[in-house]
Amino acid sequence: MEITKENRKWLDAMGLSHPIVIAGPCSAETEEQVLKTAHLLKDTDTNVFRAGIWKPRTRPGGFEGVGEIGLPWLQKVKEETGMLVTTEVGNAQHVELALKYDIDILWIGARTTVNPFAVQEIADALKGVNKPVLVKNPVNPDLPLWLGGVERFQAAGISQLGVIHRGFSTYNSLHYRNKPKWHLAIELKKEFPDLPLILDPSHICGRRDTLLDVSQTALDLNYDGLMVETHIDPDKAWSDAAQQITPAQLHQMTLDLKIRQKSSSGEEFQRKLNMHRKELDLIDSSLIDILADRMQIAESIGRLKHKENVAILQSGRWADILATMIQAGADKGLSKEFVEEIFKAIHVESINIQHNVK
């Protein structure tokens, strides 16, 4: 798939001097709530007003959105504030209604991105329509599936595209609602630098007190903007109350965020940067050598186990190794999540090598 600057046309046309800010409530609840929130956001750095009209719920019985009656409320937001408006669409009927009410930008939710049939249905419904479409990452950490969603819209003739990084579902994370897995977004940006990348810190964090830190990380990684859930009375929100903030809090957050330069031409900066990069190159090369040596030892262990008819997986020893490495990492300032992810990958490769020993 070729991603060109044409994909950025919708974003570049805004002529912004700062990363784009998309904000508004998780769900459109009432006309009053929508319009009050929008008017308060108009005086902040918000460029696009968001509100969920249809809300896919994990289990039945929860609030699933107000539906079509909320779309005229978004029309009023456009008329009264001048902001663009966006909402999530999950099927062809949603697309038809969103186009009927002239919604400016459509986004595809994480639960939809994971289903190629649903994505294709929406892409087919948008053929001949040149509105920006933003594709959220799928709930599971699958980069090809994420990019596949983008490709389906591009194949349907949608030239104005972007992606939203909202994190990946997990059952064992205390810090995040959805783990960011930054490396997947970095890999996407490396392959397709012209594809706008927007962070949804609300769904990554799941709580409002960590939004600033996660948003700053995104800006440090040169993301193109943020989508932040914002509500006039977050604690009384009908959905995802814990992760929403007020327009005033959003305004303060945008003031506190530091926008980094893409680079610097300063001679001293370039000299130090090149020096540090050479150091990293040497360390990275050493890491490859060490990993290769480790896998050779794993292969020898595999042969020994095969000869003695011993099971490859030794769960007790693996648990001890992981606990020891996590503690060693913590002593050196490395996060548990980081160490755990690295050693799980090493362990899987070691198991694969031992399994393939003849």
Query: What mean pLDDT do residues 8-13 have?
Result: 90
Q: Name the pTM for this structure.
A: 0.82
Query: What mean pLDDT do residues 200-219 have?
Result: 96
Cα(77)–Cα(47) distance, integer angstroms: 12
* DSSP notation for 173-197: -SS-SEE--HHHHHHHHHH-TTS-E
Question: Which residues lie closer than 8 Å to 292 by C-beta, 6 or more apart?
Answer: none
Cα(301)–Cα(53) distance, integer angstroms: 57
Residue carrying structure tokens 């019985």:
61
**pLDDT reading at 4 higher than 80:** no
pLDDT at 60: 78
Query: What mean pLDDT do residues 127-141 have?
Result: 95
Cα(325)–Cα(216) distance, integer angstroms: 29
Q: How many CB atoms lie within 10 A of CB 37?
A: 25
pLDDT at 272: 86
pLDDT at 139: 95
Question: Which residues lie closer than 8 Å to 202 by C-beta, 6 or more apart?
Answer: 26, 211, 227, 228, 229, 240, 243, 244
- C-alpha distances (whole Å) from 314 to each of 161, 320, 328, 347 are 47, 10, 21, 11
**pLDDT reading at 93 higher than 70:** yes
Residues making up the chain, counted from first to last: 358
Query: What mean pLDDT do residues 5-29 have?
Result: 92
* Angle CA 67–68–73, to nearest 5: 100
Cα(222)–Cα(102) distance, integer angstroms: 31
Confidence band of 78 (pLDDT split at 50, 70, 90):
very high
Domains of the chain: 5-256 (3.20.20.70), 267-355 (1.20.59.10)
**Mind listing the pLDDT tens digit for each residue in 241-282?**
999 999 999 999 999 999 887 777 788 888 888 888 988 998
**Contact of 188 with 174, CB cutoff 8 Å:** no
Amino acid 18 reads H
List, in sequence order, every residue forming a beta bridge with 133; answer none if it has no partner: 106, 161
Proportion of the chain above pLDDT 90, given as a percent: 77
Query: What mean pLDDT do residues 143-168 have?
Result: 95
Confidence band of 17 (pLDDT split at 50, 70, 90):
confident
Confidence band of 175 (pLDDT split at 50, 70, 90):
confident
Tell me 230's DSSP state: B
Confidence band of 1 (pLDDT split at 50, 70, 90):
low
**Contact of 130 with 158, CB cutoff 8 Å:** yes
Residue carrying structure tokens 């029309």:
75
Query: What mean pLDDT do residues 232-241 have?
Result: 95
pLDDT at 75: 97
**pLDDT reading at 313 higher than 70:** yes
Q: How many CB atoms lie within 10 A of CB 241?
A: 15
**Mind listing the pLDDT tens digit for each residue in 272-303?**
888 889 889 989 999 999 999 999 999 999 99
